Structure 1
Amino acid sequence: MLRKIPVLLYHNVARESADKWTITSEHFESILIYFKKYGFDTISCRELIDLRDTFVPKKVSITFDDGHQGIYTEAFPLLKKYGFIATIFLTTSFINKCEDSFAGLTSGQIREMADYGIEIGSHGVTHVNLRKLSLQEQTMEIVNSKDFMENTFNIGINTFSYPHGCYDDNLKRIITRAGYTSAFSVFKGYSTRSFDQYAYDRLETSNCSHPLRGLEFRIKTNGYYLF
């Protein structure tokens, strides 16, 4: 069993779930209530990596990929209500996007959440599977997204989330050279891998009739300790 701090992966939160990538506000709040009741602290992904050599019990990281509007309208008020933080990995081409198929976070919303203490990380520029791109295209996705957000929001971007969870050793080298201190994937099976700060596993969650039971099962069967 690995003594690793669990990192939870979400995409969107809404009052009613419309697809497999969206959990309900009720579901999300039930998770936060559970953490509050049992004395858990949420930490950013940057803090998580700082603790890589020391296991600290009752720590958990909450992450969101892409940059859906529901992160601000539904998840952020609940995080503030219970005194928690999270990390948002933004796809930069989704920022300020307003279409029927996708409503993205606005620049103002991102600044407000960053001021509160929400960590902002990169999820690339276009949300494409980076392994399918040329070396030049991979570098542009990784470097340009970082530069854009650092210049736009005047914050350091140190963490990266692989679009679609896909990565290889070459991508890890590019991310390291670009100045990121860590990168995150998603692992849907049983975790037996040792710590890798450029391929940290996350537990992808979904809507279910018993969200807490499902979360506890995923944490235990993936080799994580909370206590």
Structure 2
Amino acid sequence: MFTRETGRRALDRAFRLSGLKRYYRPSGARCPIVLYHGVSDDPGPWDVTPDEFRRQISWFDRTFDLLSVSEATARWRTDELPPRPAVVTFDDGLASTIEHALPVLESHGIAATHYIAPGLLGDRFEGSEVMARGDVAELHDRGQEIGAHTMTHPDLTVVSRERAREEIADPREALAEITGETPRSFAYPYGAFDPELATIVETAGYETATTVVASDVVDFEARFSIPRLPLRRDHDLNAVRSIVNGDRRWQQASAAFAARIRPTTT
């Protein structure tokens, strides 16, 4: 069955085999930032199985120097990024992170960045159980970074700007009440954002914001549109290696081209 991801994989292969990958390298530091959602024995499209997660994290640990989003940003500022930086992130704060992902991360000494929507805690989101407040506190206490993912996970590009400001700003206080630390990093729900939203995120006091535009190269100067590489159920380790090693840079090239030709209004 042909799916969007099947099409993306075909473009990955064409990008690599055409030689364009050798010639297109975005400006910035090579620092793959991967995005997971759930880790489940009965995975949905955006989940991975526990066995596959262990296999992938083991490869990441052997291959890269793994950091959190905020640590990678801070070390880039001081020109102290390690030779092979990479970052593991999670969106939505699903309960399966505590059960299946956290033990694997800790066994490898990895501090990932977890983007939490505090208005969903203890509830269900798109069919999956969301962790409780105590789970967020535990993640923080065990050395994981907690970032914000709005209060209730709306598409920020379709709600009013007044609501968008509330959804962006309110999680800072809500998460600080849980962890004792104000989150420094933000993730746009569904990866949907525009320049005005990026400005709102900056004004709210965040240091960075992450997207789902795929590239293994990060321009840390553009710190409110940081690319990530979403990983999902139909990605085995070979597919993960392909994506992480630059075969999906075409997506960032397409986004950059679209931004240049997008009409402006006055």
1:8 match: secondary structure: strand
Change (3 A) 1:128 1:215: same
Distance 1:73 1:193, change over 3 A: closer
- 1:28 and 2:45 matched: no
8 Å CA contact 2:34–2:87 kept in 1: the answer is: yes
Tell me which residue corresponds to 1:7. 33
2:137 aligned with 1:111, yes or no? yes
Residues 142-181 of structure 1 mapped to structure 2, 5 A cutoff: 142-181=168-207
Secondary structure, counterpart of 1:215 in structure 2: helix
Q: Deviations over 1:86-141 (max 9, x none)?
A: 11000112212258933111111111111111000000011111011222111100
| Fraction of identical pairs, as percent | 26
The letter for the 1-side match of 2:74 is D
Partner of 2:213: 187
Q: Is the 8 A contact 1:91 1:123 kept in 2?
A: yes
- Aligned with residue 62 of structure 2, among 34, 37, 46: 37
CA RMSD of the aligned region, Å? 2.1
Higher Rg of the two aligned structures? 2
Asked if the contact 1:41/1:84 (under 8 Å) is kept, the reply is no
Aligned with residue 58 of structure 1, among 74, 77, 84: 84
Whole-angstrom distance in 2 between the partners of 1:204 and 1:100: 17
- Higher-helix-fraction structure: 2
| TM-score w.r.t. length of structure 2 | 0.76
Structure 2: gaps of 5 or more residues: 1-24, 250-266
- The alignment of Structure 1 onto Structure 2 pairs a total of residues equal to 219
Cα offset for 1:7? 0.4
Structure 1 letter corresponding to 2:67: I
Contact 1:15 1:74 in 2 (8 A): no
Structure 1 residue runs of 5 or longer lacking an equivalent are none
Whether the 8 Å CA contact 1:25–1:74 is kept in 2: the answer is: yes
Displacement of 1:30: 0.4
CA 158–10 in structure 1, closer or farther in 2 if over 3 Å, else same: same
Instruction: Give the residue type in structure 1 aligned to 2:237.
Output: L
Distance 1:161 1:87 in 2: 10
What is the one-letter code of the residue matched to 1:214? A
Range 89-98 or range 154-163, more displaced: 89-98
